[in-house]
């Protein structure tokens, strides 16, 4: 058993260093690292990296020895601490951190049982299967409206900005019952909030802007929540508020703001990254696109396969509560552990010799780790799956072909992030089917 962390440069290091080539295909780096060692110490960033399916699921299922609380990594913890310090120095924001919004919020993704169990129970009562199914019609209307914009531009568009970003933002805004005109503002907040945990070092000026974003976000959703208390509706903002009010173990208003933050960030950033990556794949694999046109019933299998081999979420942190052995390595209490979904999803011991391939004829639903694992499995996964299914159904129905736009940059630049994976921009050319006729929108997924 190893007790002293190894310091040799691991294969995955370029991903955490934001190397542009590594960001395009981080999966290969974590796959190669797993072949050398399924768990290793990354000395440059001071945390462990787990890249095997067996060990990653072992840690994610172990809430006794590993914590999700305050485990967004040392860098993000440092940013949070500095944000509080700078807010205290500013007379305009000092009062905001004396109580409300003072500390890191332990909610859902960032909480442990039994707190996590109580919070999840409240959200599950609001985000029901019926509520998800009911949103399908609106998703289809939103997708069709955005695809009208694609067609109006003669079919050649920058896909991320034209569809991949606005589509999930519009969907989650509609589900939450937020005004259409606020979508751009919400999108900006999502980008800023994600910068805390997934990008390069931040200056004090950047952190001050992040602090302003956080307070603006809280003010916005606090006002929305107060309005729903007085004027109940059937949107998710209202349902979460009222389910919380009815609960004997209700969340604080501060924690409620974090729930909305996770719903918006999770509902927007991962979905747009996934959609962009899928369309890049379809543009470069026309035979797959044509098969999905002929056999739309294969779309769910395609989605699950792509979520596994090119998923938008590359991993998540946990923090050891006590000294514990994992995979022959001695983890010390307080150590951060990065659980690489990118590595685990390519593990041949779990997915066979063709672990790096998408098989349209294999039902892969729920077998990958992109939505997490165990008690912290993504609560919005059913909504995200339906969102992507509707989008691909509409795309394949309307356009006879998708290809890379001629004369544009390829490979495209990828997000400078070790948390989210997807193209930052993606130029595509869409050929509209001359025989296309939009089908009536009907209820149901």
The verdict on residue 309 lying in a domain is: yes
Q: Which residue has the tokens 């034209």?
A: 162
Domain tally, the chain: 1
| Range with the poorest average pLDDT among 156-160, 298-302, 364-368 | 364-368
pTM of the model: 0.90
DSSP code per residue over 74-102: HHHHHHHHHHHHHHHH-TTTGGGGSSTT-
Q: Tokens 């990065």: give the residue.
A: 338
* 441 part of a folded domain: no
**Ramachandran category for residue 412: left, alpha or beta (phi over 0 → left; psi -120 to 50 → alpha):** beta
Decide if 395 is inside a domain: yes
List pLDDT tens digits, range 397-411: 999 999 999 999 999
User: Any idea which residue has 């209820």 for tokens?
Assistant: 443
**DSSP-based three-state secondary structure for 34:** helix
Residue 23: inside a domain, yes or no?
no
User: Domain limits at 400?
Assistant: 31-432
Q: Is 186 helix (H, G, I), strand (E, B) or coil?
A: helix
> Which of the two residues, 163 and 93, has the higher pLDDT score?
163
Compute the C-alpha angle 375/309/173, nearest 5°: 60
What CATH number should be reported for the domain holding residue 210? Answer: 1.10.630.10
| pLDDT tens digit sequence for 215-240 | 899 899 999 999 999 999 999 999 99
232: which 2 tokens? 């109940």
- Identify whether 164 is part of a domain: yes
140-189 pLDDT tens trace: 999 999 999 999 988 899 999 999 999 999 999 999 999 999 999 999 99
Measured in whole angstroms, how far is the alpha carbon of residue 59 from the centre of its chain?
20
Instruction: Give the C-alpha separation, 23 to 227, whole Å.
Output: 42
Instruction: Name the helix (H) or strand (E) containing 432.
Output: strand 427-432
DSSP assignment string, 225-294:
HHHHHHS--SSHHHHHHHHHHH-TTPPPHHHHHHHHHHHHHHHHHHHHHHHHHHHHHHHH-HHHHHHHHH
Instruction: Let me know if 205 is exposed, middle or buried by CB neighbors in 10 A (0-12, 13-18, 19+).
Output: exposed
Is the pLDDT at 445 greater than 50, yes or no? no
Region of 407 please: left (phi>0), alpha (psi -120 to 50) or beta.
Answer: left
Distance CA 390, CA 355 (A): 26
Is residue 16 assigned to a domain?
A: no
Q: Stretch 317-337: mean pLDDT, rounded?
A: 96
Does residue 5 form part of some domain?
no
* 20 domain-assigned: no
Q: Is the pLDDT of residue 31 over 60?
A: yes
CB atoms within 10 A of CB 109: 20
* 100: nearest Cα among 219, 249, 223, 245: 219
Give the integer Cα–Cα distance in Å for 390 and 231.
Answer: 31
The token pair that represents 279 in the structure block: 């369309």
């Amino acid at each position: 058993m190893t007790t002293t962390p190894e310091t040799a440069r691991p294969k995955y290091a370029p991903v955490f260093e934001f190397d542009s080539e590594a960001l395009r295909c981080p999966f290969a780096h974590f796959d190669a690292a797993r072949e050398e060692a399924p768990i290793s110490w990354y000395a440059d960033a001071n945390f462990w990296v787990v890249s095997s399916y067996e060990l990653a699921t072992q840690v994610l299922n172990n809430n006794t020895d590993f914590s999700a609380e305050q485990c967004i990594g040392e860098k993000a913890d440092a940013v949070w601490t500095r944000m509080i310090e700078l807010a205290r120095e500013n007379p305009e924001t000092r009062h905001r951190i004396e109580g409300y919004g003072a500390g890191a919020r332990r909610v859902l993704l960032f909480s442990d049982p039994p707190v996590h169990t109580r919070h999840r129970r409240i959200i599950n009562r609001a985000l029901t299967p019926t509520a998800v199914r009911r949103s399908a019609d609106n998703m289809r209307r939103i997708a069709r409206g955005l695809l009208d914009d694609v067609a109006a531009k003669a079919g050649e568009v920058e896909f991320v900005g034209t569809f991949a970003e606005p589509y999930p933002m519009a969907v989650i805004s509609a589900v939450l019952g937020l005004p259409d005109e606020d979508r751009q503002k919400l999108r900006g907040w999502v980008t800023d909030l994600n910068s805390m945990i997934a990008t390069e070092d931040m200056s004090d000026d950047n952190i001050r802007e992040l602090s302003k974003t956080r307070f603006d976000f809280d003010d916005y959703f606090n006002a929305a929540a107060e309005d729903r208390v007085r004027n109940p509706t059937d949107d998710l903002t209202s349902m979460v508020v009222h389910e919380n009010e009815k609960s004997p173990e209700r969340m604080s208003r501060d924690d409620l703001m974090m729930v909305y933050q996770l719903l918006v960030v999770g509902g927007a950033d991962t979905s747009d990254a996934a959609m962009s990556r899928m369309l890049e794949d379809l543009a470069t694999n026309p035979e797959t696109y044509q098969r999905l046109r002929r056999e739309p019933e294969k779309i769910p299998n395609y989605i699950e396969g792509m979520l596994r081999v090119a998923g938008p979420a590359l991993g998540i942190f946990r923090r050891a509560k006590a000294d514990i052995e994992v995979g022959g390595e001695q983890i010390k209490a307080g150590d951060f552990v990065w659980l690489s979904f990118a590595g685990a999803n390519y593990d041949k011991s779990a997915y066979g010799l063709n672990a790096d391939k998408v098989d349209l004829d294999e039902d892969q639903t729920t077998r990958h780790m992109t939505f997490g694992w165990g008690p912290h499995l993504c609560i919005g996964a059913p909504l995200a799956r339906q969102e992507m299914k509707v989008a691909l159904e509409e795309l394949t129905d309307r356009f006879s072909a998708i290809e890379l736009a001629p004369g544009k940059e390829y490979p495209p630049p990828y997000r400078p992030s070790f948390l989210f994976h997807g193209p930052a921009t993606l130029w595509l050319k869409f050929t509209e089917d001359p025989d296309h006729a939009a089908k009536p929108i009907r209820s149901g997924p």
